[in-house]
């Protein structure tokens, strides 16, 4: 996959996430397509490009999300860095292992983000927090399986 095509995919994913996915919510939760792009960048690109794509995705998400600006711009490159480190030690060739990785990253990202938002005064009840975090992780992991299949078909065609 070329860098230009991946940047286009990340841009389309971001636009899709802030527009159409609003209508595909399940229990007020939608998948995090930009976080999937961050994982893909960490898996398929070298470090500097993975960090660049992660910062791009984080900025894009921070612009359109109603929360403290900069959280995603800060954490997305961190997730990309950790994915690169983990992929050197563990084989991440299976789509199901990648989906499990995304599930865990979404949950950890939500926990850290909610703790920071709590620190800044945005309170959410613990039960709602658990429901949102778990469902978002499951939904994002399920959607990631579809995206991985599409990326494989796209990459197999030589784009």
Please determine, for residue 78, whether its predicted confidence score (pLDDT) is greater than 80.
yes
Segment holding 52, helix H or strand E: helix 47-64
How far is residue 158's CA from residue 112's CA, in Å, rounded to a whole number? 38
Please determine, for residue 132, whether its predicted confidence score (pLDDT) is greater than 70.
yes
> In 3-state terms, what secondary structure has residue 62?
helix
With 0-12 / 13-18 / 19 or more C-beta atoms within 10 angstroms meaning exposed / middle / buried, residue 124 is exposed
**Which tokens in the block code for residue 147?**
């995206």
For 27-44, what is each residue's pLDDT tens digit?
888 888 999 999 989 988
For 102-131, what is each residue's pLDDT tens digit?
999 999 988 888 888 788 777 778 888 888
DSSP character at residue 21: G
**pLDDT-derived band at 157, boundaries 50, 70, 90:** low
> In 3-state terms, what secondary structure has residue 125?
coil
């Amino acid at each position: 996959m070329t860098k230009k095509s991946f940047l286009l995919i990340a841009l389309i994913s971001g636009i899709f996430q802030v527009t159409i996915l609003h209508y595909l919510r399940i229990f007020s939760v939608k998948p995090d397509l930009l976080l999937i792009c961050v994982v893909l960048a960490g898996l398929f690109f070298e470090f500097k490009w993975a960090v660049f794509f992660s910062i791009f995705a984080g900025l894009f998400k921070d612009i359109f999300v109603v929360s403290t600006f900069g959280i995603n711009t800060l954490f997305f490159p961190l997730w990309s860095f950790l994915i690169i480190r983990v992929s050197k030690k563990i084989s991440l060739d299976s789509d199901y292992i990648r989906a499990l990785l995304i599930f865990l990253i979404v949950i950890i990202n939500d926990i850290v983000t909610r703790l920071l938002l709590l620190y800044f005064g945005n309170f959410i009840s613990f039960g709602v927090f658990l429901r949102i975090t778990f469902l978002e992780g499951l939904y994002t992991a399920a959607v990631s399986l579809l995206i991985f299949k599409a990326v494989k078909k796209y990459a197999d065609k030589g784009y």
